[in-house]
């Protein structure tokens, strides 16, 4: 299928990449208050670009409350393809913190090309992928002066911190989000060169456990043996949350799980997955852990898991300090699978932590943010158009996978707006998301743009009969 938009995209590859680099130079770290201005700057740059390429009604939509202001959403649309479907293109322009800084081979906010990749924080998650949408739309508009379908764009700046602002906006069912389906490019390909659609994501609850003991820090020689130690108490609590085999011990936690179907499991078995290669090159640990009787793909895609992210507090300076800290903190999350829900899971978890709390300390369990798991229906024309576009660009049949990560808004699109999502991602398993040396394969950036161009063209084609 000849496409002048694809020709345009090919002719403009180096400019597209330079523009992405400019976006990657903005340190839009949403969790860090010090970067609030940078997050807004990224939103403004994107809004200006959406306007420049010819989208309409471009604006920032503020989120949060006066007491707790959020990061802005960016909105744009082009709605002149009457009778054609409407796509809602979603992406996030916020990024994870870059630390640990000393493990980056090139600075996280100085995008650097090495061995066919672009290295920077946000290269693949999600600035690079989100920008593929922008450049695909530009290619379509610039080469035809119209789009093959109606387009709305919504970009958020809080995905990495739970996405409260967009969740509130979506729940209000605003006219700006009326569409037939959503396009989300924030997931991975299963293997290099293998076109992939993601059809399921885990949800999560992200929590903090705070344990308090004595009224103040104490000398550990004078009081050790008599005063409770909150870090020891916290370690005991955490150690009892799951067993050595990765089975979570919270009563009732597994009650609502719907296992994957036989067909889905069979399809996963035929994916090109080498556990030993995964252990060595992706994880890099002595062995893998997890629940017996489940494959690695099942463990990470279709089973709930519990992880500890950090335990700030106490004495962490150089050398030694003999102190019994007055309080201890742990950041703990649980990934959820269909049909678990965040509210019920948090309640089960909270009361189990209380139950595990040893004498002499008080414990607080706080919910920081949460998101629902989701499973996407695949029997719709958008998924079909996606697989046919991917076949044209990559020359291969699409594999359907789930992912262990979470994109909370995808479930909200389905629940509140009745939108099926097409999760067409072009990241690779070794792209170092959330880690030092995050990267995006430059050829995937360009082929991703072409895939999206062909996908949108295919959705907008007149029905054959």
- Which residues bind to ligand BES, rule: CB under 6 A? 125-126, 159-160, 162, 186-188, 204, 369, 371, 403, 405-408, 433
User: Please, what is the minimum distance in Å from the beta carbon of residue 6 to Mn ion?
Assistant: 26
CA dihedral over 5, 126, 447, 18, signed as positive or negative = positive
Strand ranges in 174-287 using DSSP code E only, listed in sequence order: 181-184, 196-201, 203-212, 218-219
Q: Which is nearer to ligand BES, 327 or 335 (CB)?
A: 335
Among 38, 186, 298, 450, binds Mn ion (CB under 5 A): 186
User: Please, what is the minimum distance in Å from the beta carbon of residue 326 to ligand BES?
Assistant: 30
User: Please, what is the minimum distance in Å from the beta carbon of residue 128 to Mn ion?
Assistant: 10
Determine the interface stretch with Mn ion among 125-133, 224-232, 352-360, 388-396 (rule: CB under 5 A): 125-133
Given its phi and psi angles, is residue 204 left (phi above 0), alpha (psi -120 to 50 degrees) or beta? beta
Q: Which does 403 bind (CB under 5 to 8 A by kind): Mn ion, ligand BES, none?
A: ligand BES
Q: Which is nearer to ligand BES, 336 or 419 (CB)?
A: 336
Strand ranges in 163-250 using DSSP code E only, listed in sequence order: 181-184, 196-201, 203-212, 218-219
Query: From the CB of residue 62, how many other CB atoms can be counted at a distance below 10 Å?
Result: 11
Q: Which is nearer to ligand BES, 138 or 186 (CB)?
A: 186
**Cα separations in angstroms, 309 against 63, 104, 331, 334, 335:** 27, 20, 5, 11, 13
Is 125 one of the binding residues for Mn ion (CB under 5 A)? yes
Is 126 one of the binding residues for Mn ion (CB under 5 A)? yes
Q: Which is nearer to ligand BES, 55 or 167 (CB)?
A: 167
Q: Which does 196 bind (CB under 5 to 8 A by kind): Mn ion, ligand BES, none?
A: none
Q: Which is nearer to Mn ion, 186 or 412 (CB)?
A: 186
User: Please, what is the minimum distance in Å from the beta carbon of residue 19 to Mn ion?
Assistant: 20
Is 156 one of the binding residues for Mn ion (CB under 5 A)? no
Q: Helix crossing, 164-171 with 408-417: angle to 10°?
A: 10
Q: Which does 30 bind (CB under 5 to 8 A by kind): Mn ion, ligand BES, none?
A: none
82-85: long-range pairs with CB below 8 Å, 24+: 84/148, 84/149, 84/150, 84/459, 84/460, 85/149, 85/150, 85/179, 85/180, 85/181, 85/382, 85/459, 85/460
What helix, strand, coil percent values describe the chain, rounded to 5? 35, 25, 40
Contact residues: Mn ion, CB under 5 A: 125-126, 186
């Amino acid at each position: 299928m000849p496409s002048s938009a694809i020709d345009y995209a090919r002719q403009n590859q180096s400019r597209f990449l330079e523009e992405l680099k400019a976006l990657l130079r903005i340190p839009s770290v949403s969790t860090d208050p010090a970067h609030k201005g940078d997050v807004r700057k990224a939103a403004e740059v994107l809004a200006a670009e959406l306007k420049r390429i010819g989208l309409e009604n471009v604006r920032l939509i503020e989120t949060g409350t006066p007491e707790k202001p959020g990061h802005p959403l960016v909105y744009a649309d082009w709605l002149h393809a009457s009778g054609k479907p409407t796509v809602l293109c979603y992406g996030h322009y916020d990024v994870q913190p870059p630390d640990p800084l000393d493990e980056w081979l090139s600075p996280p906010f100085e995008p650097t090309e090495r061995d066919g990749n672009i290295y920077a924080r946000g290269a693949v998650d999600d600035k690079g992928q989100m920008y593929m949408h922008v450049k695909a739309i530009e290619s379509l508009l610039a080469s035809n002066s119209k789009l093959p379908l109606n387009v709305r764009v919504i970009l958020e700046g809080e995905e990495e911190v739970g996405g409260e602002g967009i969740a509130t906006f979506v729940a209000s069912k605003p006219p700006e989000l009326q569409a037939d389906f959503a396009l989300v490019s924030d997931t991975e390909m299963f293997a290099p060169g293998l076109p992939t659609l993601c059809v399921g994501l885990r949800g999560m609850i992200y929590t903090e456990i705070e344990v308090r003991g004595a009224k103040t820090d104490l000398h550990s020689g004078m009081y050790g043996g008599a005063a409770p130690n909150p870090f020891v108490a916290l370690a005991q609590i955490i150690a009892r949350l799951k067993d050595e085999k990765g089975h979570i011990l919270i009563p009732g936690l597994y009650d609502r799980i719907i296992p994957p179907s036989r067909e889905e499991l069979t399809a996963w078995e035929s994916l090109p997955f080498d556990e030993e290669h995964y252990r060595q090159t992706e994880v890099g640990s002595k062995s893998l852990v997890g629940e017996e009787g489940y494959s690695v793909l099942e463990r990470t895609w279709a089973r709930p898991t519990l992880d500890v992210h950090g335990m700030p507090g106490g004495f962490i300076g150089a050398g030694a300090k003999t102190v019994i800290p007055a309080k201890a903190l742990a950041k703990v999350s649980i990934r959820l699978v269909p049909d678990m829900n965040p509210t019920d899971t948090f309640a089960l978890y909270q009361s189990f932590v209380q139950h595990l709390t040893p004498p002499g300390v008080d414990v607080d369990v706080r919910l920081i943010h949460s998101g629902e798991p989701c499973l996407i229906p695949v029997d719709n024309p958008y998924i079909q158009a996606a697989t046919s576009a991917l076949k044209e660009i990559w020359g291969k049949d699409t594999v359907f996978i789930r992912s262990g990560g979470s994109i909370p808004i995808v479930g909200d699109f389905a629940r509140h707006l009745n939108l099926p999502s097409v999760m067409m991602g072009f990241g690779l398993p070794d792209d170092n998301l959330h880690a030092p040396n995050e990267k995006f394969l430059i050829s995937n950036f360009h082929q991703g743009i072409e895939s999206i161009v062909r996908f949108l063209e295919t959705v907008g084609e007149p029905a054959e009969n």
